Chains A and B, each alone.
Chain A
């Protein structure tokens, strides 16, 4: 029974590859090549910073687009194609199906991100002619991007359990944007004397998925040291929040009438 999510995950990954999802890597490669060649001509002294900023931003954006647009269709597609019914006729629980779908898309995103990381490393070496120990921060930044993508995937999957792909995309995108601005929402509370607004702002801050936590792109570009505690804390945060989203998704999906 425990291997069922794994089987669903592998099949989801295969399906993504068959759907030519990884073709986005070509765009990424072209972007990196163009940036590496052009950056010397358009900037002075910040060639490395530009490559790191551009590379990490592209990895993050490509990943987010994939996580949202594929994530919201994971369940819907199975229902539309009626493949879900034959699957659920077997001893497969609905939560196992969801966890498998989540794992499959995450696997796709990990492979995609790893390949883009290789592309970024090549572009970086082309520009800087060497790697430095401080470049490890870039790997931490990429790891944080992956944590962010896991969280987005879980949220997209949650919304897709009760809504159409179009609305799920809007909801996920909305939550993502709100989560990016979570610290600003908290700061609204700091600038008011109204205790009710302070409390509401604080509650929203803690309830929203805080995507700001995962953004250390500027720190990576400036070779800032990342506190080690932040690595496990962000990992725990992504795991806990994804668990919340998947639990909620399972609760909704298990009660959904699929007839």
Chain B
């Protein structure tokens, strides 16, 4: 009788359990939908002290650092690109990660970008990014790329060109540092707020990372710099045209016919420049190029 009972219960379990799991999966989807607003609340950091966490990790601090770094990436990834989104836990998370593992270079390098990019591409906190990268330099004085990041922050984000030059110069003293560090130090010291200097800095940002997000931002900036340089030149040509003919050109073709430009000048995305009202050259309205990528509406998801 016991065997009969066992067989009966076993059959029931084999049939019922898969069915119950299917029901549970559907129910879980409903729960996820219902609990969405609760789960999407601003998360909290129960322990904000990296030093305390280091002690609590019982020696497994580097593994914990990896976990916190993953959490940082997820925290940033879920919020980036959403206008008005704030990143209140980004700096504490990065601080904890780098306290747990001060040699986790990636956390300093990406963290710098995450923190310094203006809203909605980042937290817009270049000041905190400077603190982070300085912490990285203190823990990893031989890693010259962190000086490059510090120079980038000072020149591009904070417009503090003497400090930027100082950072590039300090980094260039490292025997492993590439020559462009010296070039950038000189360029920033001479003419900090210059498009060519910005192009050199963003070019190095592009070359020094494999991360798709950062590369995309660098390309966006490089395209913007190129378009600004082109428009500056076209503006000069338009002025010259007006001086010669007494009126501004109505189209780019007017400039071509007068021999001021050859062919149809195009922006970095291949869209021809156009002449706007009052003869001012501008981007084609269809062009995806943005002249100021740091403006809020400039970031495309």
Contact = CB atoms under 8 A, between A and B. Distances in A.
B245 interface: no
A183 B43 CA distance: 14
Contacts of A234: 31
Interface stretch (A112-120, A164-172, A237-245): A237-245
Contacts of A93: 5
A230 B39 contact: no
Contact of A206 (B28, B35, B77): B28
A247 B24 contact: no
B218 to A, nearest CB: 22
Contact of B24 (A94, A227, A237, A255): A237
B20 A254 contact: no
A191 B34 CA distance: 23
Given A206-B25, A247-B17, A95 B34 contact: no
B13 interface: yes
B21 A213 contact: no
Contacts of A94: 5
A21 to B, nearest CB: 29
A247 B13 contact: yes
Contact of A250 (B13, B20, B35, B38): B13
B39 A191 contact: no
Contacts of A237: 24, 27-28, 31
Nearest to A53: B46
B85 interface: no
Contacts of B35: 213, 227, 230
B34 A227 contact: yes
Contacts of A60: none
A59 interface: no
B31 A240 contact: no
B44 A241 contact: no
A227 B38 CA distance: 9
B20 A240 contact: yes
Given A183-B39, A219-B41, A255-B6, A210 B20 contact: no
B7 to A, nearest CB: 9
Nearest to B30: A233
B77 A244 contact: no
A248 interface: yes
Contacts of A95: 9
Contacts of B23: 240
Interface in B1-50: 2, 5-6, 9-10, 12-14, 16-17, 20-21, 23-25, 27-28, 30-31, 34-35, 37-39, 41, 44
A218 B37 CA distance: 13
A227 B34 CA distance: 7
A254 B24 contact: no
B297 interface: no
Interface residues of A, number: 35
Contacts of A251: 6, 9-10, 12-14
A42 interface: no
A99 B138 CA distance: 62
Nearest to B10: A251
Contacts of A218: 41, 44
B57 interface: no
A15 interface: no
Contacts of B6: 251, 254-255
Contact of B21 (A187, A206, A255): A206
A91 to B, nearest CB: 11
Given A244-B17, A250-B9, A236 B27 contact: yes
B67 to A, nearest CB: 10
Contacts of A227: 34-35, 37-38
Interface in A189-245: 191, 205-207, 210, 212-213, 216, 218-219, 222, 224, 226-227, 229-230, 233-234, 236-237, 240-241, 243-244
Contacts of B28: 205-206, 210, 213, 237
A234 B12 CA distance: 24
B178 interface: no
Contacts of B9: 95, 247, 250-251, 254
A154 B23 CA distance: 18
16 contacts: A93-B5, A187-B74, A213-B35, A222-B41, A227-B34, A227-B37, A233-B27, A237-B28, A240-B23, A240-B24, A241-B20, A244-B16, A247-B12, A247-B20, A254-B6, A255-B6
Interface of B: 2, 5-6, 9-10, 12-14, 16-17, 20-21, 23-25, 27-28, 30-31, 34-35, 37-39, 41, 44, 73-74, 77
Interface of A: 93-95, 183, 187, 191, 205-207, 210, 212-213, 216, 218-219, 222, 224, 226-227, 229-230, 233-234, 236-237, 240-241, 243-244, 247-248, 250-251, 254-255
Given A213-B31, A237-B24, 12 more contacts: A191-B74, A206-B21, A206-B25, A206-B28, A213-B35, A219-B41, A230-B34, A230-B38, A240-B20, A243-B20, A251-B10, A254-B2
